[in-house]
Amino acid sequence: MRFVALLRGINVGGNNLIRMTDLRACFEKHGFRNVTTYIQSGNVVFESGEAGSSRVARRIEEILAATFNYPASLVLLDSRQMRAVIDRAPQGFGTQPAKYRYDVVFLKAPLTATVALESVPAKPGVDQVFAGSGVLYITRLIAKATQSGLSRVVSLPIYQNMTIRNWNTTTKLHRMMEGPGIT
Same domain membership, residue 143 and residue 90: yes
pLDDT digits (tens, 9 = 90+) for 115-147: 999 988 899 999 999 999 999 999 999 999 999
pLDDT digits (tens, 9 = 90+) for 50-104: 877 889 999 999 999 999 988 899 999 999 999 999 999 999 999 999 999 999 9
**DSSP bridge pairs for 5:** 44, 76
Is residue 99 a contact partner of residue 142, using CB atoms and an 8 Å limit?
yes
Same domain membership, residue 47 and residue 91: no
Total structural domains within the chain: 2
How many angstroms separate the most distant Cα atoms in the chain? 49
**DSSP bridge pairs for 52:** none
Same domain membership, residue 44 and residue 87: no
What residue numbers bound the domain in which 114 lies?
83-165
pTM, to two decimals:
0.92
Same domain membership, residue 100 and residue 36: no
* CA gap 32, 26 in Å, rounded: 9
Same domain membership, residue 36 and residue 13: yes
CATH of the domain at 125: 3.30.70.1260
In the chain the first and final C-alpha atoms are separated, in Å, by: 16
Same domain membership, residue 76 and residue 37: yes
